[in-house]
Structures are given as structure tokens and as C-alpha cells.
Amino acid sequence: MRVVSGIAKGRKLKAPKTPGTRPVMDRVKTALFDILSGDVRDSRMLDLFAGTGGIGIEALSRGAASVTFIELGAEALRCVQENLAITGLARNAEVLRADAFQFLEQAAANGRRYDIIYVAPPQYKGMAARALTQLDAAPLTDPGGLVIAQIDPRERTTLDTLALTRLRPVDERRYGSTLLIFYEHAEELRAGATEDQPAPASEE
């Protein structure tokens, strides 16, 4: 696992040995940031369930203005801090040991705002659906902001049934056992209104 582009390109990242941590494969990371493209530079990003910190660190390497890393596990948190030191990108990083859902609640109350939020929780526990519901009810993005959920394709049905009023699915990409669903913060939908659904997931 490494930084694939930007000022820290090629730096190898450490990964914790704790179960449940899913480092993002370089192939998926490359595809994700190719999609985000110029949206990353000068952006404010939230890396929720940060794990190794690979996504947020990639963003910093590519010119993000700041990244907040949220991780509850002590070993994973140390890994994020070590990887920031390895890449020399700690200056624009905020690393917090916190429960993700408590952080979302407090961040909304404090008026925090991000341009991009990446949500990659442990699998099969309904956490992605819970986080999206919370971010829809009390947004940390302004209209036009992005929330990206990383899930196993078998978890897709748990997101399809969500009654979201602000987060609108605009794209999705499948890379083997990883599914990325992109949500844009739109103005709240009127009762009974419908939005176009994203195109079916494609294998890249």
C-alpha cells in the first residue's frame, strides 16, 4: 500500500494488523482520485473510519487544504499518525480518536464544514447506512459537497432503502469486492419528488 500520486508519491504506508481494517487497494484509490480529479485541490476533507489514513493522506498528497481523520481503534490511530509522519503531511492533518457517530453529531453542532467526506466503515454492520442517514439529517457539507461511501457490493441493499432528502446518489463504481457510491449534497427534495438514479455499477 502506497501513496499513488502527488508530493508524497511512492511512499509506502503502514497498515494495522487489527481485524476489520480494510486498507484501500492502490487500484481503487487511483480510480477514486481520477474521478475526483480537480475537486481535491484546496478542499477540506473528512476521512471517517480512517483506518490506515490512506484516503486522507492521498488527498493531502494531491493538494487538499486539510483532512480530518476520525478513528476509534488505538492501533489504527497510531498507524494514521505514523503514515502522516512517513509522508511529511501531518501539518495539514487533524487526527482524532473518536466514535464516528458521536463526532458527526458534535461536528454538526459546532458548524464544521467539509467539501468531501469519505465513509468506509467496518463491513456488514449497517454503519454506512447509519452514517449517511446522519449526514443527510445534519449535513457537514454545503450544497455541491460530496459524500462517498465505500462498501462491499453485498451491502448495497442497506443503502437503497434509505429515505435521504439532501444526499442524492450521482455515481457509483465497482472494483471487485469494493463498491463506491457518490452522493452529492443537493437542496432538500420536496415531498413526493423523485431524483434520477445513478447508472448501474460498472466493473472498472
pLDDT in tens, 147-184: 999 999 999 999 999 999 999 999 999 999 999 999 99
Which H or E run includes 127? helix 127-137
What DSSP letter does each residue of 88-103 carry, written as one string?
Answer: T-GGGEEEEE--HHHH
Q: Does residue 201 form part of some domain? A: no
Closest CA to 122 of 147, 159, 152: 152
Which residues does residue 151 pair with via DSSP β-bridges, in sequence order? 179
Residue pLDDT, tens place only, 37-56 = 999 999 999 999 999 999 99
Asked if 107 and 168 sit in the same domain, the reply is: no
Q: Does residue 143 form part of some domain? A: no
Is residue 133 very low, low, confident or very high in pLDDT (cuts 50, 70, 90)? very high
Based on the structure, what is the number of domains in the chain?
2
Q: Which domain holds residue 10?
A: 1-16+24-128
Asked if 97 and 29 sit in the same domain, the reply is: yes
Closest CA to 27 of 186, 196, 173: 173
Q: Does residue 138 form part of some domain? A: no
Asked if 8 and 100 sit in the same domain, the reply is: yes
Residue pLDDT, tens place only, 105-118 = 999 999 999 999 99
Specify the pTM: 0.90
Q: Which of 128, 149, 174 is the last residue of a domain?
A: 128
Closest CA to 59 of 37, 91, 81: 37
Asked if 35 and 106 sit in the same domain, the reply is: yes
Q: Let me know: does 149 contact 73? Beta carbons within 8 Å.
A: no
